Amino acid sequence: MMSKIEQKDYAKNIDAQTFAAVVENLKTALITVLRANELSPQQGGEQAIIAQATAKSLALLDNYLLGLQLNNADKTLLLQPVSLSASLVEVAHQLSQAAHAEHCDIELDVAGKYGPVLAHPGGLTAALVSLGNSFIAAHSQQERPKRMVIKLATYTTAHGIRAGMFTDIDGLTSDTFKRAKRLLGKARSPLNHFSTQEEAGLFVADALLQSMSSGLTASRHHKLPGLAATFTASPQLELV
Amino acid sequence: MARILLVEPDVSQALVYNRSLQQAGHEVVAARTAAKAVTLLDTNAIDVILLELNLAVHNGIELLYEVRSYRDWNDIGVIIHTTVRPKQLHAPALERLGVTQVLYKPTASLSDLHRAVDSVLQSVS
């Protein structure tokens, strides 16, 4: 006979499993749309629009499922020593094409010796790429005359090693980000420059990072606002 | 050009890949399950297997072990074309099973698929 707490956990797990199954089905459907679109050229340029929208949604669902998996798994099995600087270099490489297409420059600020942190390498990269894509898309919706810079940085703070993305975008403060998290799925977000899809990318990144760090918080680096996660360096890993 | 066994449980995706491979000049036979795949291997001279790992009842890895247990089927090229993340797959084990190409469906385009098929056909011949 299950206790009330056990019943609640069981129901929560079933909900999560059902949702994960639904998301997998959505992924399958989107893959079909994406490939059928490749086979059947549309007139008027719709093929590129369908491809872009479908690919973005697929990436979002993929990252969401990875976040679900990481948050539900035994993390001691999945976390490994990871160099944040190396991860940011990899993320910058993955974002370079999308950034170039939207007239954004990716800059790296990873100089300095930072010890490894315990993280899931795939999850960390997926989270930061998801975050970067949201920032790039938010830039494309602003009316600015010059190229925008998105800075990928890692630096030490009193609480640990912080890794994140920073850019000249209005309205990205601690308060708006917290309110956006509370309002997610319920009401219009206070994050002005992020559409629903880009905003979802931010929160999927946050969910992925929750499994290995403090999650995303609004932060500033060299006067640029942005979002970053704080990791604890392990003294034991530094000795190895 | 080649006879391809497409092992794909999703009917819609199977139609798309089937059409694409036929347009490229290949002959395609399709199976939704591992059991059906084994039956088709028995009755057709297959050059390449295009394999989704997430199958009903018996998964793609089990099918691969069965295929490689028959000497006559050891030379058939295998391309994994799956929704399972590449990092979840054990590359050395797949190599031992004769898999030379692994494609992740969300990011592998039809062109990537055709290139993989051509590459496997070249190595098999």
pLDDT digits (tens, 9 = 90+) for A32-57: 999 999 988 766 677 888 888 888 88
CB atoms A28 and B83 under 8 Å: yes
Which residue would you say has higher pLDDT here, A18 or A186? A18
Asked whether the predicted pLDDT for residue A71 surpasses 60, the reply is yes
Q: What is the structure's pLDDT at B120?
A: 93
Q: Which amino acid is at B82?
A: T
pLDDT above 70 covers a percentage of chain B that reads: 100
Q: What is the structure's pLDDT at B116?
A: 96
CB atoms A27 and B83 under 8 Å: yes
| Cα of B12 to nearest chain A Cα, Å | 7
Residue A4: burial class (beta carbons within 10 Å; 0-12, 13-18, 19+):
exposed
pLDDT band at residue B64 under the 50/70/90 scheme: very high
Interface predicted TM-score of the whole assembly (ipTM), two decimals: 0.86
On chain A, the residues whose CB falls within 8 A of the CB of B12 are: 29, 32, 36
| Cα of A83 to nearest chain B Cα, Å | 18
What pTM does this model have? 0.74
| Residue B101: strand, helix, or coil | strand
Candidates B13, B18, B50, partner chain A, best to mutate (most A CBs within 10 A): B13
Which residue would you say has higher pLDDT here, A46 or B73? B73
pLDDT above 90 covers a percentage of chain A that reads: 15
CB atoms A31 and B19 under 8 Å: no
CB atoms A39 and B10 under 8 Å: no
Stretch B34-51: mean pLDDT: 95
CB atoms A35 and B23 under 8 Å: no
Asked whether the predicted pLDDT for residue A221 surpasses 70, the reply is yes
Q: What is the structure's pLDDT at A137?
A: 79
On chain A, the residues whose CB falls within 8 A of the CB of B23 are: 39
8 A C-beta contact, residue B5 and residue B46? yes
pLDDT above 90 covers a percentage of chain B that reads: 76
pLDDT above 70 covers a percentage of chain A that reads: 77
8 A C-beta contact, residue B21 and residue B47? no
Q: What is the structure's pLDDT at A79?
A: 77
B15 to A33, A130, B32: CA distances (angstroms)? 12, 31, 12
| Cα of A34 to nearest chain B Cα, Å | 9
Instruction: Return the residue of A nearest to B112 by Cα.
Output: A35
Which residue would you say has higher pLDDT here, A11 or B102? B102
Stretch B27-37: mean pLDDT: 95
For residues B18 and B23, give the distance between their C-alpha atoms in angstroms, rounded to a whole number. 9
Residues 49-108 of B with CB under 8 A from A: 83, 85, 87, 105-106
On chain A, the residues whose CB falls within 8 A of the CB of B16 are: 32, 35-36, 39
Q: What is the structure's pLDDT at A35?
A: 94
On chain B, the residues whose CB falls within 8 A of the CB of A63 are: none
B80 sits in which H/E element:
strand B77-82
What pLDDT, in 10s, does the model give residues A88-124? 999 999 888 888 888 889 999 987 777 788 888 888 9
Q: Spell A208-226 as b/e; 16+ CB within 10 A means b.
A: bbbbbbebbbbbebeebbb
Is residue B23 less than 8 Å (CB to CB) from chain A?
yes
Asked whether the predicted pLDDT for residue B82 surpasses 90, the reply is yes
Among B16, B83, B87, whose Cβ lies nearest the Cβ of A39? Answer: B16
Instruction: Return the residue of A nearest to B21 by Cα.
Output: A39
Instruction: Return the residue of B nearest to A65 by Cα.
Output: B85
Asked whether the predicted pLDDT for residue B60 surpasses 60, the reply is yes
Q: What is the structure's pLDDT at B41?
A: 95
Q: Spell B17-44 as b/e; 16+ CB within 10 A means b.
A: bbbbbeebebebbbbbebeebbebbeee
Asked whether the predicted pLDDT for residue B91 surpasses 80, the reply is yes
CB atoms A122 and B87 under 8 Å: yes
